[in-house]
Amino acid sequence: MKRLGIFADLHCGHKNGLTPPDFWGGGPKVKNNLKKRWTWFVESIKKHGPFDAAIWNGDLVDGPGVKSGNETVMNLNLQADAAAEIIRTVGAPENYLLYGTPVHTITGGGYELEKAVATDIGCPIFGQIWLNVEGWILDIRHHPAGNSQVYPATPLQKEWESNVRWAREGVQEEADLIMRAHVHKSFQTGKPDVWQAIAIPALQDFGGIYGRRLSNTVDFGWGTLDVMDKKKGVWPVWRTIMAPRRKEAVLQLSRQPNPA
């Protein structure tokens, strides 16, 4: 059996992202939250590892902060260094990196931060991969076909249908499992013994300026995929490791009217 660690949307460098201790910045409250997330992450890795390989499915860094309201806690060069440190902390013997969203991962000068991470740890980086694990074909990319709040499995269904069409054209390998990220939610769909599609949770917590506009649920965590030889007929087992949720406070109406 092979165990894969599956990680996505770290947004390293953002105040709500995942950041190792040597790179913590910001005020006391921000540093305290970064510490809580990092402590939980390291403990969960120790509990559910080790891994035969790790997949890092995009948005390893938060980048210039154009979309997230410039809530970064470190400069761009340090973001790449910090993301590489996270990969080394997990310590998988094989790592596969995938490109994320350009607004997060490419600087104004066109420098690709995720490519710098891949160079640092000495592994390749791809736009999309088809990975053979124990005979099972995994189709992995950061972006899904689209997002749906009411029917979250619909984009994954589209991804499977696209893979089947490309396979019939002889361009792609027909996949058993489809894995996507980007939407910061965890769910899965499929047809038993035919195909399975998985949305990977994010390692960026809810909140911040961008979070004010979100109505959808956000899942903070990562996952493992246990893969046995396909000849045994046992489908790969996907498990999510989710961080404890933070409940929002309810405000109480003051008995005293506001001063005129």
DSSP character string of 230-254: GGGTPPPEEEEEEPPPPPPPPP---
Query: What's the pLDDT band for 259 if we cut at 50, 70, 90?
Result: low
Measured distance CA(30)–CA(18) in Å, rounded: 12
Q: How far apart are CA 166 and CA 130, in angstroms?
A: 13
Q: What are phi and psi of 150, to 5 degrees?
A: -80, -40
Max CA separation in the chain (angstroms): 76
Q: If you average pLDDT over residues 71-79, what whole number do you get? A: 81
pTM, 2 dp: 0.89
> What average pLDDT does range 72-79 have in this prediction?
82
- Residue 187, pLDDT score: 86
Task: Find out whether 84 and 121 touch, Cβ atoms under 8 Å.
Answer: yes
DSSP state of 72: B
pLDDT exceeds cutoff 90 at 141: yes
**Cα–Cα distance between 86 and 97 in angstroms, integer?**
13
Q: Which CATH superfamily is domain 2-242 in?
A: Metallo-dependent phosphatases (3.60.21.10)
Calpha distance 189→32 (Å, rounded): 36
Task: Give the residue-averaged pLDDT of 242-250.
Answer: 81
Q: What is the pLDDT of residue 79?
A: 92
Task: Fill in the DSSP letter of residue 71.
Answer: -
104 in helix, strand or coil?
A: helix
pLDDT for res 68: 55
Interval 219-243 mean pLDDT: 95
Q: In sequence order, what are the beta bridge partners of 139?
A: 130, 178
- Reference 4, options 87, 126, 114, 92; nearest CA is 92
Work out the mean pLDDT of the chain and round it to a whole number: 87
Q: Which residue has the higher pLDDT, 152 or 175?
A: 175
CB < 8 Å & 24+ apart, contacts of 25-32: 25/73, 25/74, 26/73, 30/73
pLDDT surpassing 80 at residue 14: yes
Return the pLDDT at 164.
92
- Which backbone phi and psi does 54 adopt, to 5 degrees? -130, 140
In this predicted structure, what is the pLDDT of residue 104? 75
Residue type, 246: R
Range with the poorest average pLDDT among 60-69, 107-116, 124-133, 206-215: 206-215
